Amino acid sequence: MSRSKILYQCQSCGHSSPKWLGKCPDCGAWNSFTEEQRVAKLTRQKTAEPVVLSEISASTGVRYSTGIKELDRTLGGGVVMGSVVLIGGDPGIGKSTIILQSFKGLAKLGKILYVSGEESPEQIKIRADRLHIESDEIILLPETSLEGIISMAQKINPRVIVIDSIQTIFSLELPSAPGSVSQIRECATKLMFMAKKHNIPLFIIGHVTKEGAIAGPKVLEHIVDTVLYFEGDKGNPFRILRAVKNRFGSTNEIGVFEMQESGLKEVDNPSELFLSERPENVPGSVVTVSLEGTRPLLVEIQALVTASSFGVPRRTAIGVDYNRINLLVAVLDKRLGLHLGGMDIYVNVVGGLKIDEPAIDMGIIAAIASSFKNKSIDTGIFTFGEAGLSGELRAISQADIRINEAAKLGFKKGIVPLSNSNNNKNQNINIIGVKNVEEAVEMLLF
């Protein structure tokens, strides 16, 4: 018996309900439910054969370079055959650009089928010329129907498929509009089956919008093997590509790029870049070291503390967790006796980077204390460490990698947690261990 019924689905997270709801109980989005028709067509497929693990040849372990080092890094060392990679990000951030640039390396695998539902072949040609991408292996397909794409793929037999973007693709079998949750899920699943069957890599590009008007790539995350997100501010040329899920490599690896006239340029030494415009002898600025995947990154944290002109003081956090700021402000208040209650506090990680590692606690504390006391921190000093609620400074992981990176960039002195300082082997830098936040601030703002 075929079952066909109407259900309501949240366009932001994919939660479904038999009746319309004003607020999604899953993701909390308002007015996000639309009517969709679910056609449950389950056909029985051939039963799979069991296999002995040791008899499987691990040909899937072979990786192919995209020709872009930073992209290979986020993928876990290159793209794996038969893998499905989702590249998500705000519109205009550079998703189409990076994929087009990667064709230089991917064309070595053979034919690339670039399905574009957003741009015409002429537009893509203009962009490719600008990026100096030229290859007979790149085939453009301005098609938006899933059935059309699949039949064309069977004809062309490509070695790589790119879908730009999944929101524009629709299946004729579903009555809902392109971009709706059921369309996105259905199309991605069918495409994934195709990629697995032919053992070719599939790249899916997906837009994320804050309003959730178009179904976000969130619903795809569990279908695909690897999820890369493009981060960055519109006004800032830096772009960060972050792996948030990877079945073939480590997560939280990042790739750093700079958007230029001729496309995205890889940034070999991001620390240098993030510190390049650092002001000297200005209160409220300090350098800390964060570890992104396997790579240490020196970043500048800035804070501005001003007397509040309203009853409730403002707290603004850009690039760091808002609740973490409140917690650290409370520690500063209680343990250092800084009266921040009536102060507006703004904290910013320079360069549009987002960091959620407790190792930068000490950086945030130092920046706030420095701005509050209006005393600058020496530009040759860096600091890191996790702050506890009783003001103790806790050791963090992989301190040696962080210290070496700071030494490489010419830092002379580091204020770090005591147990981290005991293991320091680097002779070129003066590492001072401290037990608590109070001591650290005293050292930094002498």
Binding site for ligand TYD (CB under 6 A): 89, 91-97, 127, 130-131, 259, 261-263
CB of 91 to ligand TYD, least distance (A): 5
CB of 94 to ligand TYD, least distance (A): 4
* Residue 168 interacts with Mg ion (CB under 5 A): yes or no: no
Identify what 351 binds: Mg ion, ligand TYD, none; CB under 5 to 8 Å per kind.
none
CB 161 within 8 A of CB 115: yes
CB of 89 to ligand TYD, least distance (A): 6
The interface region with Mg ion, picked from 4-12, 60-68, 92-100, 416-424 by CB under 5 A, is 92-100
Q: Which is nearer to Mg ion, 184 or 403 (CB)?
A: 184
How do beta strands 413-417 and 430-434 pair?
parallel
Beta bridge partners of 433: 416
* Residue 288 interacts with Mg ion (CB under 5 A): yes or no: no
CB of 125 to Mg ion, least distance (A): 15
CB of 80 to ligand TYD, least distance (A): 23
Identify what 223 binds: Mg ion, ligand TYD, none; CB under 5 to 8 Å per kind.
none
CB of 131 to Mg ion, least distance (A): 13
Determine the angle formed by the axes of helices 361-373 and 322-336, rounding to 10 degrees. Answer: 60
Considering only 96, 102, 167, 168, the residue that binds Mg ion (CB under 5 A) is 96
CB of 402 to ligand TYD, least distance (A): 32
What dihedral do alpha carbons 73, 75, 79, 80 form, nearest 10°? 130
Q: Which is nearer to ligand TYD, 91 or 121 (CB)?
A: 91
Identify what 97 binds: ligand TYD, Mg ion, none; CB under 5 to 8 Å per kind.
ligand TYD
Q: Which is nearer to Mg ion, 74 or 96 (CB)?
A: 96
Output the residue with the shortest Cβ distance to Mg ion: 96
* Residue 246 interacts with Mg ion (CB under 5 A): yes or no: no
Q: Which is nearer to Mg ion, 73 or 207 (CB)?
A: 207
Q: Which is nearer to ligand TYD, 165 or 288 (CB)?
A: 165
Identify what 136 binds: Mg ion, ligand TYD, none; CB under 5 to 8 Å per kind.
none
* Residue 101 interacts with Mg ion (CB under 5 A): yes or no: no
Binding site for Mg ion (CB under 5 A): 96
